[in-house]
Amino acid sequence: MRTLIITAFVSLDGVMEAPGGEPGYRNAGWTFKDVPFDESAYEIKGREQEEAEALLIGRRSYEAFSPVWPTMTTEFAGYNALPKYVVSTTLQENDLVRDWGEITILRSVGEVARLRETNGGPISVHGSATLGHALADAGLVDRYHLLVFPLLLGAGKRLFSTADKDAEKLDLVEHEVYSNGVQKMIYDVVRKEDS
């Protein structure tokens, strides 16, 4: 079974929307305009590219990433080389870009569950708030890689869903605080059969 990892930049109040400056969001760009840069805080991002063996994203994130990431041959070389899976009920094969390597459309969370059951290394989920909620609610998330920024953003898409479900225990397996107040927190999801 593969490890499914949700990786996110998140504010202290749980907002993950528009961290890099995407238009249409009041606080867009909060990862670099509101917090001083500390390169060491981003070590986890390089490690993720080295360790991941597949990239999983929702349709909206695909539409945001696919015109940009293929052109970022240095920053995202590792991700650009990976097989990519897009979860969408509306995208068609002719909607996919041709310059971003192998891309497969998955139609449901059930198809993600089947992908997770295959042999291989970690599957990394970037952006994709709606997909992340569905994956977590279905019990498919194995790990969270979070960079938590010392900001309260108020409005925005939240990392975690608001579904009424049983409590889920997390095990903090790695933690570091950086000079700019950003915290790296890596959590494994504790399965009921593991506890």
Report pLDDT digits (tens) over 40-55: 999 999 999 999 999 9
Domain count, the chain: 1
Q: Give the E-state strand segments of 26-96 in sequence order.
A: 54-58, 84-87
CATH no. for residue 30?
A: 3.40.430.10
Place of tokens 């479900």: 165
Distance CA 32, CA 148 (A): 13
- Give the per-residue pLDDT at 18: 85
Q: Which amino acid is at 7?
A: T
Q: What is the pLDDT of residues 93-141, one digit of tens each?
A: 999 999 999 999 999 999 999 999 999 999 999 999 999 999 999 999 9
Domain assignment present for 194: no
Domain assignment present for 95: yes
Distance CA 195, CA 175 (A): 21
- Tokens for 171, please give them: 């095990």
Domain assignment present for 97: yes
> Domain residues for 164?
4-189
Distance CA 85, CA 102 (A): 9
Return the closest-CA partner of residue 30 out of 136, 194, 172, 157: 157
Domain assignment present for 70: yes
